[in-house]
Amino acid sequence: MAKPRDDQRLDLLQGTLDMLILRTLQWGPQHGHGIGQAIRAQSDDLLKVETGSLYPAMHRLEKRGWLKSEWGVSEANQRAKYYQLTAAGKAQLTRERDRWSQLVGAIGRIMNPAGSE
Amino acid sequence: MRPDDRDLDDEIRGHLAIETQVRIERGESPEAARLAALREFGYVPAARDSMRRVWYSRWLNVAEALVQDIRVGARSLMRAKGMAATVVITLALGIGANAAIFSVVRGVLLRPLVNRDEATLIYIRQSAPGLGASNLTFSVPEIADLKARVTTLSSFGDFSTVAFTLVGFGEARVVQAGVVSGSFFEVMGLRPVLGRLLNEGDDGPSAAGVAVLTHRFWTTSLNSDPSVIGKSIGLGSRTATVIGVLEPSVPYPADTEIIANIVTSPHHLGATMVAGRTHRMTELFGRLAPGATLEAARGELESIHRAMVSEHSDSYSAKAGMQITATPLRDQITSPARTILLLLLASAGVVFIIACSNVANLILARSIRREGELAVRAALGASRGALRRTLLAESLVLCGAGAVLGVLLARPFVAAVSSFAARFSVRALDVVVDGSVLWIGAGLAMAAAVLLAYVPRLPSAHGPTGLAATGVRLTPGTNRRLRLFATAQIALSFVLLAGAGMLVATLVALQSEGPGFEMRQVLALDVPAPLGDYGTKVIDFYQEVTRRVGELPGVNAVAVGSFVPWRDHGSFGPSVPFAVEGYTPANGEEDPRARLRIVSPRFFEVLGVPLVAGRQFTEDDRRGSEAVVIVSQSVAQRLFPNGEALNRTMWWTDPYFGKPVPRRVVGIVEDIDDENVVRAPAMMVYHPFQQMGVAGRVFVHASGDPYALVPAVKRVVRELAPNQPVERAATLEDVRAEVLTPERLNAFVIAGFAGVALLIAMVGVAGVLAFGVSARTREFGVRLAIGSTPRSLLMSVLSEGMAIVSVGIAAGIAGGYACAGIAAGYVAGIELPGMLPLAAAAAVLGGAAVLASLMPAARASRVDVLQALRSE
């Protein structure tokens, strides 16, 4: 698969970054760089998260109690801060996922009204 | 847990390290990998900032930025030390003076009294405007009338001041004592700190003599000794037992050391006191009845007083126009200090405004010099808010330093101002520097800081920025602002200077007034006789004192009198009506009045008062011989313009003197005015001491230093009477100086303010001109190059300075009169200065302005043509 060119990358919808971070952390603790890489890889390079938005977003989630963090050592032997989901974070992820499905469904119905195809 | 800055940095560093590692593994060179990681990450401080913002509130961020700005501001101010020091000192003076004076105003005018429920406590005053008597006090029959009829007042307290010779606390001496009835302390709402106070049981002629000590006397003279309770003390001819100590309170109406019951004063039990309707010596206080208002009490007192006056019309002359007024006690106590304190407050406020406008000028000039810097910062993306914040930070540093210094200054200021204000209100004595000073100082500084930060204009985002400009550029608008501030300073300084000039002029007039008698060499001493003892023994005593003191070396002459000029003013009652054979008052005119004085034979010689006609008193004018008097020239000339006053017979017509005794006028002396420092024609009638017996003052004319005689005089008197007080020895010159102290202090304090204002204003004018000159260096260079003489440049700068001053003075005169007009509506007794102080103030300001302009003007005339032209 060819890498998408920069102008093909998609901007994130408002509010979805939080959900993506929570979702990424469902597989286990990860540091900021890893989260960014994971989102990028999972979206086949379509979504590229700016570090300038990623880090504040993770701090925001930590402040709200959905994430907790601790210092650890990365695979490459670098000191890094690892984030992991809290119980509240898991509940929040469920809520956001539901809301997201509703939103996608609603937008889909508007864009592709039943019977128009 | 909140991450701190280190955590955030570490996290970012970790991210960059991992990214670099990933790239190296992908085959990039370490150097390229590091740079790429950085590039991809974006602006690190911005990222860190946005992470911080998650955890720390916006205000905290602003505050932190401000702290940062303040650090930068402090550093940049260190590079402009002269300007910073001027600003800090100027502000400190303004803030310190305001904080101090406000503390005193608060302590004197606003602080509540300790008296219980002071809102219902009133002071009742009887006055006779027709006689010029603003406080006549009351007689016992008058008080009885009021008590019997008034319903809006639930109780009355009375207080009269009596001088007692106090024996029992150290050396015998004369003390002022309050004599009160038992209801006094209950009405005043005061409590004892020790023992008990007087009550109704201490009233009446058969009660035992008891006395209460005032707190100040007990603590300062008796070391707060609790064993004084129960001690027996001698008060004149009676004894009394000390029963209690009063709590600390404002001593009103008189600052006495003890307060005793009626029975201690034989005079209070005598017929004159009890039945004499015109024998007034008692102050009256009252408590409003529950539900009664002050207005209602005033109305009722007035109507009862009117009725009383008409019932006893023989005792109240129509001309006197007797009135009665009631005021809350606190207003009564503070009213003498109110005017002077408000005046001080206004002066301090003016100094503060001058200080601020001067500081504004300095800061404005500074901000013009750094317009380039601000423009660069604006071009680099600093928002207007950030620039303003920089300015605010600097002015906060300046004003904060000024406030700290000002608050430190406030302590000595408060001490000075309260000892000054103590002349007008005893409350000022216990004013202390309290927390309010800090708040006032901080508040004033904050106000100044915010104002000052908004004085300079910011570089405009549009239009040409100052980036290209290297020198100082002065726009007409800014120049106008600078001048406006300088002019305002001149105007305000002028108001203060004119006020100070007026007070100084008054003082000079008072001090240069000749009294008409010798002052420097005459020593006056209080040697009081026991009150009410007018017998021959007393006369013998004073004659012996006169003889023995007269024999001391260095004594030219000795006399006995009844009245120390100025010092005894107010203690001897008002003028007394009299009649003279051969003089008939015109229809409807009252009897003439004169001051009654009692003097021994050599009195006029001691004071150096010339005899105009007739003879002096002699040792033969004694009891049993013909009753004689000497009158002042005013009496002689007013009643007998043709000069036949000598040998006429006069007698006092006041019923207080009982059956009229005819007395022959044997001499006429020149006028002296022993009551007013500014001399007025004085109607005086002198009695020979040996025919009256009442004296109490000894006058000694010394050939050398008068004060050197005091121990000898004391010794001589004590040899005759061991318990005899000899007090308050002072030359008449010093007595007058003492009497003039309030005037001198007023002039001194206001002149001090004016001096500070003048100094600040001069710095302001010099600063504005110097700044103008430095901004116009190039212009001056061009003018010199095309043929102007240095002299003409000098004159042009000087005339600029004079223009500022003239406009300022004109504004000062106009504004000063307008303010005085407004203030006259609120504060009684505002006087406008005459032409002389105004002219003097203008001259001082003008002269100072020329001096202040000289330096910048000289610099203008010395501009180096080549350098000036090359400078841009």
Of A31, A52, A78, the CB nearest to B50: A52
Q: Which of residues 20-49 of A touch B (CB under 8 A)?
A: 31-34, 37
Q: How far is B445 from chain A, CA to nearest CA, in Å? A: 39
What per-residue confidence (pLDDT) applies to B465?
A: 45
Q: Would you say residue B329 lies in a domain?
A: no
Between CA B255 and CA B178 the distance in angstroms is 9
Between CA B330 and CA B107 the distance in angstroms is 12
What per-residue confidence (pLDDT) applies to B861?
A: 80
Strands (E) in A10-89, as ranges, are 30-31, 67-73, 79-85
A-chain residue closest to B3, CA distance: A59
Chain A CB contacts of B4 under 8 Å are none
DSSP category for residue B281: -
Same domain? For B94 and B219 the reply is no
Of B18, B43, B47, the CB nearest to A55: B47
Question: B412: cis peptide before it, omega within 30°?
Answer: no
Instruction: For residue B389, give Cα distances in angstroms to B95, B385, B394, B445, B453.
Output: 23, 6, 9, 16, 8
Q: Note whether A90 contacts B: Cβ–Cβ < 8 A.
A: no
Residue of A6, A31, A51 to mutate when probing chain B, most B C-beta within 10 A: A51
Task: Test A80 with B53 for CB contact under 8 angstroms.
Answer: no
What per-residue confidence (pLDDT) applies to B780?
A: 82
Between CA B470 and CA B472 the distance in angstroms is 7
Of B3, B18, B47, the CB nearest to A78: B18
What per-residue confidence (pLDDT) applies to B773?
A: 78
Task: Test A51 with B18 for CB contact under 8 angstroms.
Answer: no
Q: Note whether A72 contacts B: Cβ–Cβ < 8 A.
A: no
Task: Test B18 with A52 for CB contact under 8 angstroms.
Answer: no
Chain A CB contacts of B19 under 8 Å are 33
Task: Test A59 with B46 for CB contact under 8 angstroms.
Answer: no
Between CA B11 and CA B48 the distance in angstroms is 10
Instruction: For residue B541, give Cα distances in angstroms to B446, B536, B694.
Output: 70, 8, 12
pTM of the model: 0.64
Same domain? For B402 and B379 the reply is yes
Of A33, A52, A60, the CB nearest to B18: A33
Chain B CB contacts of A79 under 8 Å are 10, 14
- What's the mean per-residue pLDDT of chain B? 82
Return the domain boundaries, chain A: 16-108
A-chain residue closest to B10, CA distance: A80
Same domain? For B434 and B574 the reply is no
Same domain? For B748 and B687 the reply is no
Task: Give tens-digit pLDDT for A9-21.
Answer: 666 666 788 899 9
Task: Test B42 with A74 for CB contact under 8 angstroms.
Answer: no
Between CA B245 and CA B258 the distance in angstroms is 9
Cβ neighbour number for residue A84 with a 10 Å cutoff: 14
Between CA B150 and CA B124 the distance in angstroms is 12
Pairing label, strands B684-688, B593-599: parallel
Q: Would you say residue B126 lies in a domain?
A: no
Same domain? For B81 and B141 the reply is no
Chain A CB contacts of B3 under 8 Å are 59
Task: Test B18 with A74 for CB contact under 8 angstroms.
Answer: yes
Of B18, B41, B55, the CB nearest to A59: B55
Between CA B196 and CA B715 the distance in angstroms is 39
Task: Test A81 with B19 for CB contact under 8 angstroms.
Answer: no
Side-chain-facing half-sphere of B856: CA atoms under 13 Å:
26
Mean pLDDT, rounded, for B566-595: 77
Chain B CB contacts of A21 under 8 Å are none
Strands (E) in B405-552, as ranges, are 522-526
The matching CATH number, chosen from 3.65.10.10, 2.10.109.10, 1.10.10.10, 3.90.1580.10, for A16-108 is 1.10.10.10
Between CA B421 and CA B415 the distance in angstroms is 10
Task: Test A56 with B40 for CB contact under 8 angstroms.
Answer: no
Domain boundary among B321, B346, B375: B321
Q: Would you say residue B326 lies in a domain?
A: no
Residue B748, pLDDT above cutoff 50: yes
Q: CB burial class (10 A; 0-12, 13-18, 19+) of residue B350?
A: buried
Pairing label, strands B282-288, B153-168: antiparallel
With beta carbons less than 8 A apart as the criterion, state whether B184 and B159 touch.
yes
Chain B CB contacts of A78 under 8 Å are 14, 17-18, 21
Same domain? For B370 and B408 the reply is yes
Write b or e for each residue in B430-452: b if 16 or more Cβ atoms lie within 10 A of its Cβ, otherwise e. ebebeeebeebbbebbeebbebb
Same domain? For B718 and B803 the reply is no
Of B21, B40, B42, the CB nearest to A76: B21
Q: How far is B385 from chain A, CA to nearest CA, in Å? A: 24
Same domain? For B869 and B756 the reply is yes
Q: Would you say residue B175 lies in a domain?
A: yes
B-chain residue closest to A72, CA distance: B14
Tell me which residue has tokens 């013998």: B540
Chain B CB contacts of A32 under 8 Å are 11, 14-15
pLDDT band at residue A6 under the 50/70/90 scheme: low
Task: Test A59 with B21 for CB contact under 8 angstroms.
Answer: no
Q: Would you say residue B178 lies in a domain?
A: yes
Between CA A66 and CA B117 the distance in angstroms is 63
**CA-wise closest residue to B322 among B591, B568, B139, B571:** B139
Task: Test B11 with A32 for CB contact under 8 angstroms.
Answer: yes
Q: Using a pLDDT cut of 90, give the percent of chain B over it.
A: 21
Spell out which chain B residues touch chain A, with contact meaning CB-CB distance below 8 angstroms: 3, 7, 10-12, 14-15, 17-19, 21-22, 40-43, 46-47, 50-51, 53-55
Task: Give tens-digit pLDDT for B760-787.
Answer: 778 777 777 777 777 777 788 888 888 8
pLDDT band at residue B475 under the 50/70/90 scheme: low
Chain A CB contacts of B7 under 8 Å are 81
* 3-state secondary structure (DSSP) of residue B356: helix
Residue B853, pLDDT above cutoff 70: yes
What per-residue confidence (pLDDT) applies to B560?
A: 92
pLDDT band at residue B467 under the 50/70/90 scheme: very low
Residues whose CB is less than 8 angstroms from the CB of residue B467 and which lie 6 or more positions away in sequence, other chains included: B372, B375, B376, B379
What per-residue confidence (pLDDT) applies to B755?
A: 82
Between CA B174 and CA B380 the distance in angstroms is 82
ipTM above 0.90 for this complex: no
- Domain carrying residue B198: 137-321
Name the range with the highest mean pLDDT among B175-179, B229-233, B432-436: B229-233
The DSSP result for B56-81, as a single string, is S-HHHHHHHHHHHHHHHHHHHHHTTH
Same domain? For B814 and B870 the reply is yes
Cβ neighbour number for residue B589 with a 10 Å cutoff: 9
Same domain? For B496 and B386 the reply is no
Residues whose CB is less than 8 angstroms from the CB of residue B700 and which lie 6 or more positions away in sequence, other chains included: B522, B523, B525, B549, B555, B557, B558, B606, B706, B709, B713
Between CA B34 and CA B558 the distance in angstroms is 109
Same domain? For B794 and B763 the reply is yes
Between CA B196 and CA B223 the distance in angstroms is 19
pLDDT band at residue B814 under the 50/70/90 scheme: confident
What per-residue confidence (pLDDT) applies to B667?
A: 93
In the A/B pair of chains, how many CB contacts fall below 8 A?
Answer: 64
Task: Test B17 with A32 for CB contact under 8 angstroms.
Answer: no
Task: Test A32 with B41 for CB contact under 8 angstroms.
Answer: no
Same domain? For B565 and B683 the reply is yes
Q: Would you say residue B523 lies in a domain?
A: no
Residue B711, pLDDT above cutoff 70: yes
With beta carbons less than 8 A apart as the criterion, state whether B719 and B479 touch.
no
Chain A CB contacts of B54 under 8 Å are 56, 59-60, 63
Number of domains in chain B: 5
Domain boundary among B289, B321, B353: B321
